[in-house]
Chain A
Amino acid sequence: MKKFAKDFIVKDNVTLSSAYALLRLAPVDGILPEMQAGQFVQVEVKGSKTTYLRRPISVNFADYDDGLLWLLVRNAGDGTHAMIEMQVGEVVNIVLPLGHGFTSPSDKSESVLLTGGGVGVAPLLFFGKTLKDADFNVSFLLGAKSEKDLLELDEFRKYGEVFITTEDGSLGERGFVTMHSVLKQRHFSKIACCGPTPMMKAVAKYAKANDIDCEVSLENVMACGLGACLCCVEDTVDGNLCVCKEGPVFNIKRLKWQI
């Protein structure tokens, strides 16, 4: 897929809760590049005195009807803080699309579970839409610390059934995603997962134990985002691979996780 370094204009910036914002951006030249669910972008950071490199952010959604790129950003430090402070009308340069995304199952009868935690839910929205457009049966299992950390629930509901866990029990079932009752009640033939590493490992362990095909999206620290600097490597059965180029989505069979 051809990559671009494009200027985008902030069309709106919705604060989802104190720590998160949904940015919707339009390419200045009007052409939103073709993207795959699970791919990411590298955002130039403006307005932060301490941030030097670009910041990798997942494609939350590519809205081709309105020509908008959606980014769901969590305030994790100075760079992401500057991003969520961006004003409508500001212009920012974005390199995209990067990496390899999620793969759709070959058989339409398969039911797919998309599960994530915190801001890790970001790439699952676009993947859910992609799967629904291709007539797959999609379910989402979203986990968070608390109700206020659950993002874009109304958007997710457009593409599939939504199951929820919160650590404090403020919404859905109490606990972690791997403890949700739906996992005992239904059979899924594929799982796609994105979230904090301990959560992804727990999901991967569940998938492995139940012989379910499972892909996870890694968030290794990155510099170039283009497969050039070899900073972001993950140890895999094929050796050290660049998460930014061969990933960020990997089938758990390729990872050397102790699960």
Chain B
Amino acid sequence: MADLRVNIGALKLKNPVMTASGTFGYGEEFADLVNLDRLGGILVKGTTLNAREGNPYPRMVETPSGMLNAVGLQNHGVDYFISEIYPRIKDIDTNIIVNVSGASPDDYAEVCRRLLPLEHIPAVEINISCPNVKQGGMAFGVTCEGAASVVKAVRKVYDKTMIVKLSPNVTDIAAIARAAEDEGADAVSLTNTFLGMAINTETRRPYLSTITGGLSGACIRPIAVRMVWQVANAVKIPVIGLGGIMNGRDAVEFLLAGATAVQVGTANFIDPSVTEKIIDYIDDYLNRHNLNSVADIVGGML
């Protein structure tokens, strides 16, 4: 058996396979179908300071080898998470990481400040792809200044591991990654969903209530792999790769492109125990290639 352990800053993972935020609930929804203790980490649903109802239905439509979603960060708010959900999931033997969203840098910082004392939450993932209300609805993640302002605000109050999740809807993702690194992020994860749109040609209406939505699934993988490779070459902090990982081979592809760990999202909907199969595949892959540890293939593209 190969050594599957990896580190993301101070965060220790038993293997590089985590679940992506918004696709795996709080883990408990999958408890009957996956051995959660085997996972490297669980990124829980996007959490905001106050409760959010999310967008109206319809919120999803299938597209070629993927799907568009427009959930809109429906969640009960951070205090509900702390009092109701955390006690139920804290003893899962994995890294439970909270994905955080906000409408201003102060919002992000306040959510992280409240999460800091929770013993079994070793890290946060800052989702900077959501709209910046103060600057008129543009996402923080699309400018270096926006990204830097959020990372800076969180870094002031949060001294555990901070992962910054990057939006792919930008011209130069490596520049945004460097901005996050400069303000003290411990790692970056990419990619979030790609902005997309689909129209029902019979009814002439958009499929989503919000008209546009986020594209995920196998169809985005080659773009995500390219971006992970670009970012891994641009920063010194660890990179977490995701976007369209459907199986173990795909996960290894991201590691070779420079990711230290991966997240699996939409694939959980198709095969709820796909993450366990990916872990087994990576172990088998390393053995087949006479390698001892995951570290031997991170950025290992020849």
- The residue of chain A having its C-beta at the shortest distance from the C-beta of B76 within the complex is A239
Interface assignment of B268: CB less than 8 Å from any CB of chain A? yes
Among B63, B69, B268, which residue has its beta carbon within 8 angstroms of that of A231?
B69
Stretch with Cβ within 8 A of B (4 or more), from A19-27, A49-57, A148-156, A165-173: A49-57
> Which 10 pairs from chain A and chain B are nearest by CB?
A228-B25, A231-B60, A3-B32, A228-B29, A224-B269, A226-B29, A231-B59, A230-B71, A223-B269, A227-B29
Question: Are A52 and B23 also in contact (CB < 8 A) when A220-B57, A226-B30 are?
Answer: no
The size bracket of the interface on A is 20 to 34
On whether the beta carbons of A52 and B67 are closer than 8 Å, the reply is: yes
For B56, the chain A residues whose CB sits under 8 A away are 235
The size bracket of the interface on B is 35 or more
Interface assignment of B33: CB less than 8 Å from any CB of chain A? yes
On whether the beta carbons of B23 and A240 are closer than 8 Å, the reply is: no
- The residue of chain B having its C-beta at the shortest distance from the C-beta of A2 within the complex is B32
Interface assignment of A5: CB less than 8 Å from any CB of chain B? yes
On whether the beta carbons of B218 and A52 are closer than 8 Å, the reply is: yes
On whether the beta carbons of B24 and A228 are closer than 8 Å, the reply is: yes
Interface residues of B in 69-84 (CB under 8 A from A): 69, 71, 74
Q: How far is the CA of A212 from the CA of B33 in the complex (A)?
A: 39
For B24, the chain A residues whose CB sits under 8 A away are 228
Interface assignment of B1: CB less than 8 Å from any CB of chain A? no
Minimal beta-carbon separation of A119 from chain B (angstroms): 19
On whether the beta carbons of B23 and A234 are closer than 8 Å, the reply is: no
A sample of 7 inter-chain contacts (CB < 8 A) reads: A5-B33, A53-B269, A95-B272, A222-B60, A224-B268, A230-B54, A233-B74
Interface residues of chain A, those whose CB is within 8 Å of chain B, are 2-5, 44, 50-54, 93, 95, 220-235, 239-240, 245
Of B24, B59, B64, B268, most buried by chain A (CB within 10 Å of CB) is B59
Interface of chain A, helix or strand or loop or mixed? loop
Interface string of B168-180 (1 = CB under 8 A from A): 0000000000000
Interface of chain B, helix or strand or loop or mixed? loop
Question: Are A240 and B270 also in contact (CB < 8 A) when A226-B29, A229-B22, A230-B71 are?
Answer: no
Q: How far is the CA of A224 from the CA of B218 in the complex (A)?
A: 16
Q: How far is the CA of A57 from the CA of B23 in the complex (A)?
A: 21
Q: How far is the CA of A41 from the CA of B216 in the complex (A)?
A: 23
- The residue of chain B having its C-beta at the shortest distance from the C-beta of A51 within the complex is B62
On whether the beta carbons of B64 and A50 are closer than 8 Å, the reply is: yes
On whether the beta carbons of B25 and A226 are closer than 8 Å, the reply is: yes
Question: Are A52 and B65 also in contact (CB < 8 A) when A224-B268, A228-B24, A228-B29 are?
Answer: yes
